[in-house]
Amino acid sequence: MTRGQVLFYGGVLLVVGAGWGLTQPLSKIAVSTGHRHFGLIFWQLAIGALAFGLLTLLQRKPLPLSREALWVYAVIALIGTVVPNSASYQAIAHLPAGVVSILLSLVPMLAFPMALLLGLERFALRRLLGLAAGLAGVALLVLPEASLPDAAALAWVPLGLVAPLLYAFEGNYVARWGTAGLDPVRVLLGASLVGVAMALPLELVSGQFISPLRSFGAPEWALIAASLIHVVVYATYVWLVGRAGPVFAVQVSYPVTGFGVLWAMLLLGETYSPYIWAALGLVVIGMLLVQPRLQEAVAEAGPIGETGG
């Protein structure tokens, strides 16, 4: 890529990261008045299904319904949304949104040992050191008594780690077993529809249904905004992968983490102890070591448009 192209796609990367980072403070607002996880997940998936369905209609591509495709939808819905988001919504009700953003940024570090076990990666000392830095960052969050504003919140950190663990497994699952030839938009539409079918009985049985006929306040609008932002930034991310290559696009983890903390400070007024800032620094170092270097990303991206649109 030319320098101009790198700057342009780098700008797109920052915008995508800013959008993704904003979803954590919005999720914090969504749970602020007592909305529970199954109710939030149902509407998040329903809004996503509507948006991805509209995109599918515009692209004039049908949704495959083969046995293999349905299996992919079910797996991605379960390990990519229903279970991890159930844990995240419960954790973010008790943890600062910035801390949850830091925990979510552990995905590439947690994915590395899984990839080794599945034979998808070769051992590299640099990436092992990155994993160690990420774990040290988590230790700084949970060990010092003054790390979190409320000591009782420490009990929710393990629940906050469920989502990055499952996202890491999801990435390795797709890398190892694929998506039955489905493109990302079709996978997310199918997974959203299957996820809606999973979440609806759970929210009804648990009494967590959120009526769309109620008056909308900040939590309801925050949920809608977070769901729509996710659709837009993910579609943009897929476009970026097609234009600049997956190795370049994976650098989005850095702005997602940074903006997640920044938005939490600006929108929620969160402040952090020196331990949390040190934890953030260690996690960023871990990402730098685990993920491909930017120079490698530019070299491996190939000609623009080579990977398709």
- Tokens 């160690």 correspond to 132
Which of 20, 80, 13 lies closest to 247, judged by CA? Answer: 13
Question: Mean pLDDT throughout 111-121?
Answer: 89
Judged by average pLDDT, the poorest of 15-29, 141-155, 217-231 is 141-155
Identify the DSSP state of 292: P
Residues near 32 by Cβ (< 8 Å), separated by ≥ 6?
Answer: 218, 219
Percent of the chain with pLDDT over 70: 93
Around Cβ 277, how many Cβ atoms within 10 Å?
A: 14
4-42: pLDDT as tens digits: 888 898 899 999 999 999 999 999 999 998 899 999 999
| H or E stretch covering 260 | helix 253-268
Q: So what's the pLDDT on residue 292?
A: 61
What band does 307 get if pLDDT is binned at 50, 70 and 90? very low
What band does 121 get if pLDDT is binned at 50, 70 and 90? confident
Q: So what's the pLDDT on residue 104?
A: 92
Residues near 163 by Cβ (< 8 Å), separated by ≥ 6?
Answer: 84, 85, 87, 88, 91, 103, 104
Q: Find the helix packing angle between 274-290 and 253-268, rounded to 10°.
A: 160
Q: Is the pTM of this model over 0.85?
A: yes
